[in-house]
Chain A
Amino acid sequence: MAFAVFTLFFDNSCVNRPGFCFNKLWLRFKAKKESYSVATTGLASSKSFWQSRRFRDAMVAYAFILPWVIGFILFVGGPIVASFVLSFFRWKMIAPPRFYGLTHYINMVTTDELFRTSIWVTFKFVLISVPIGQVLALGLALLLNQRVLLLGFWRSAFYLPAVVSGVAGSVIWVWMYHVELGIVNNGLALMGLEGRNWLFDRELVLGSLIVKSLWNIGIPMVIYLAALQGLPQQLYEAADIDGAGEGSKFFSITLPMLSPAIFFNVVMGIIAAVQTFAEPYVMTGGGPDNATLFLGLHLYQNAFHYLKMGYASAMAWIMFLLIFGLTVFQFGLASRWVYYEGGTR
């Protein structure tokens, strides 16, 4: 299922995604490849199979991807299976594991209220921060696409925060949000507004973290910008001839043509947002009143503070399924709104 879904995503969208996926070059390349394979067959037929280029290429290829295969088995595939097995055991690290059956999964839905809280917090964060972040990133990309002076400066300004993600960024924002000494409250005071306790008010705290997350939209912005610059101008010229207004051009040309890039950014954005950890860990510790107890943080605490390794593994699997489900869901929706130029549907 996942594979099929990804076939759709990467094959279609990559062939056709303007800018980001090098549309024209791909087509040019494809044409060349065809002629090339004809040549290859000709060459190969004169030698035995074992000496053929095809066979040798395959061997070389396997040798080249061997590191990844080993790494996958050791650090990803193996651990995933292990974590699934571990999720059926109670393992406190300081005592031998005990079989627990489905208890962990049952506890998750029955007794562990914090698990529900953490799922809800994570969901809210994803549902709010990802769409707003994408709109903002696209907006900035559109601004930058206006042939502005000092493009490098503006672009850097918007991109820079993306290299300050994680702990350092969180630390800066803790200081920004400081009740008495932070620039947010002092800035508001200059405007005659009353400051708030941004990180210690449970009504506000998730919003504060979302605002912080909007500061880190450099990567999607750059991807949008590139996609915008790869848009075929003929379409706009044709629209101009038809006398289309700016709004209609945006909605009927720009947005559809950008949809593969939007789709890509949304998928990647959600995958990252579901795993949010450093921000709540550094900025709030999950509080106040568990208002920022993200799934990633709850999981970490269970594993390394409460030493419930088995339970943490079970939760990690739920996180995996969550990401998987959200991705599949988006692929389901994608056929309705993602436009693949020259695509099969």
Chain B
Amino acid sequence: MTHSTTLSRRTFLRVGGAFAGAAALAACAPVAAPADDGGAGEAPMAERVTIRYGRHDPAAGVATTLKAFHEEFPDIEVSVEQIGEFHAKIPALAAAGTLPDVVRSWEAMALDMGRNNQFIDIQPYVDGEPGFDPDDFYENWWNYPVVEGNRFGVPDAAAPHVTFYNADLFDAAGVEYPDKNSFTWTDFEEKARAISDPDNKIWGSETIPVGWHMFSVKQTWQNDGSFYSEDFLESRLDKEETIQAIQYWADMLLDGQVMPSPSQIVGIGGAGAAAELLAAGKIGMQRMGSWITGSLVDAGFRFNVVAEPSQARRDTITHGAFNNISTTSEHKDIAWTWLNYNTSTQGIYNYASEANFPGTRRSSNEIEPFPWVAEVDFEVDWDVIPDALTYGHILPGPANEGEALKLIGDALEKVYSGDAKAADIFPEVSPKVTAVISDI
């Protein structure tokens, strides 16, 4: 639906080439569009306009979309800027008033920048876009970048966390594969224990990645706990379920017969290298974002995918990004043209194919070949991956996330190394975290 309407509008625009850019958009764009500074009026007619698009990863991810866009809108030049040290540089650019016109930002950043008026409310653009169908997006993703009624972004693609397993190692140990319909923490632990062979450096499970503590939140969700309250204003670290969940996995880690301890693998690096352990055929199961599929294709063993193990409920992390328009953009209408194009069904599909994970639009995920499917000569339950998008939580987005994660991470490290019990340390850290995240 959305697809065809958008296309027809584009055709129209192409025909009316002379009216390209802002002028044409102003014609299409609605009365509701904000009549503020960067408005359509000041944009020059029929003159090539350049807008900047900032993202943390290389431009390759949007190359296909960009090419199509430039063909369709010859008068708009989108210059892609890859921004290193993203979480520090984006605020710096904001402070300098030189943010790119369109910024692709992660969960917490999108909200924080929105709260501080660095991104504009794009709801008027959405309302004014003919044929725009919000229902095409997964609800959780569509509703995420909204604070106090203001919408700060449109999601593109998102990777859910699932469990990858090395079927060959399961066979070698004579362990049954995880059950698609019921896979609990207890199942996970039993199977991992049965596969582990520490003397030969074979482990049932990947360790909990050091330095990636934002991912530990999924365990708490699976146990009905959480790091933060729904509105991200209060810490929930002192909640019974949160503490239980953390302690359960810490015990599993410290047991030494289920996962390698952090020090046993840490010399190799962070989570990036952890993915290599699975690829190297040394671990039975790894719970990780679906982006690691790529590294498994040439690994030379049979692997499969199952949902994350659950306890109180089925839950997981989905991690993705939003496209936002900066307040300081001088070409907001044109920025919206690009943003909308880039998050169209085809746009999201293009990026998703590059990144090997699903889009946040249902329609993107119906286009074949499916981005999350890798070509292998054995059966893989690929459906598990897009399915996880429908029930998983999106990574939380409290204010001052960096500082909060430092506090939480330090506490987690103590628990994971066995220096402290979650029940002792989390109630202690909780008020500090609340103080940090409520300081908006």
Contact = CB atoms under 8 A, between A and B. Distances in A.
A290 interface: yes
Contact of A92 (B91, B267, B410, B413): B91
Interface centre among A93, A179, A197, A200 (most CB of B within 10 A): A93
Interface string B214-242: 00000000000000000000000000000
Given A94-B91, A94-B118, A301-B406, A178 B267 contact: yes
Contacts of A11: none
Contacts of A306: 400, 402-403, 406
Contacts of B414: 289
Contacts of B211: 285, 287
Interface in B405-440: 406, 410, 413-414, 417, 419, 432, 435
B112 A94 contact: yes
Contacts of A95: 116-117
B439 to A, nearest CB: 8
A301 B87 CA distance: 11
B113 A289 contact: no
B406 A307 contact: no
A308 B267 contact: no
Nearest to A179: B267
A46 interface: no
Nearest to A308: B403
Given A197-B263, A305-B402, A94 B413 contact: no
A111 interface: yes
A94 B88 contact: no
B92 interface: yes
* Contact-residue size bin, chain A (C-beta under 8 Å from the other chain): 20 to 34
A307 B87 CA distance: 10
B172 interface: no
Contacts of B112: 94
A201 interface: yes
Interface in A238-273: none
Nearest to B85: A304
A289 B417 contact: yes
A166 interface: no
A117 B147 CA distance: 36
A34 B92 CA distance: 56
Given A93-B92, A94-B94, A200 B403 contact: no
B94 A289 contact: no
A288 interface: yes
A197 B267 contact: yes
Given A179-B267, A306-B400, A308-B403, A289 B410 contact: yes
A304 B91 CA distance: 9
B108 to A, nearest CB: 12
Contact of A200 (B263, B406, B419): B263
B95 interface: yes
A94 B113 contact: yes
B373 interface: no
A180 B113 CA distance: 43
Interface string A197-211: 101110000000000
Nearest to B262: A200
Contacts of A289: 410, 413-414, 417, 419
A304 B88 contact: yes
B432 A111 contact: yes
A307 B267 contact: no
Interface in B72-101: 85, 87-88, 91-92, 94-95
A92 B116 contact: yes
Interface centre among A94, A199, A289 (most CB of B within 10 A): A94
A307 B263 CA distance: 31
Interface in B249-278: 262-263, 266-267
Contacts of B406: 114, 301, 306
A307 B262 CA distance: 29
A51 to B, nearest CB: 51
Interface in B47-92: 85, 87-88, 91-92
Contacts of B88: 304-305, 307
Contacts of A92: 91, 116
Nearest to A181: B267
Contacts of A178: 267
A308 B436 CA distance: 11
A305 B402 CA distance: 6
Contacts of B92: 93, 304
Interface centre among A114, A285, A301, A307 (most CB of B within 10 A): A307
A307 B266 CA distance: 29
Contact of A290 (B91, B117, B262, B410): B410
Contact of B95 (A93, A111, A305): A93
A283 to B, nearest CB: 12
Interface string A292-320: 00000000010011111000000000000
A94 B116 contact: yes
Contacts of A114: 406
Contacts of A290: 410
Nearest to B404: A306
B92 to A, nearest CB: 6
Given A93-B95, A179-B267, A301-B406, 8 more contacts: A94-B94, A197-B266, A200-B267, A201-B263, A289-B419, A305-B87, A305-B403, A306-B402
Interface of A: 92-95, 111, 114, 178-180, 197, 199-201, 285, 287-290, 301, 304-308
Interface of B: 85, 87-88, 91-92, 94-95, 112-113, 116-118, 211, 262-263, 266-267, 400, 402-403, 406, 410, 413-414, 417, 419, 432, 435
22 contacts: A93-B91, A93-B92, A93-B94, A94-B118, A114-B406, A179-B266, A180-B267, A197-B266, A199-B267, A200-B262, A200-B266, A200-B267, A201-B263, A287-B413, A289-B410, A289-B419, A301-B406, A304-B92, A306-B406, A307-B91, A307-B400, A308-B403
| Closest 8 pairs between A and B when the two form their complex, measured CB to CB | A179-B267, A93-B95, A306-B403, A304-B88, A94-B116, A95-B116, A305-B402, A93-B91
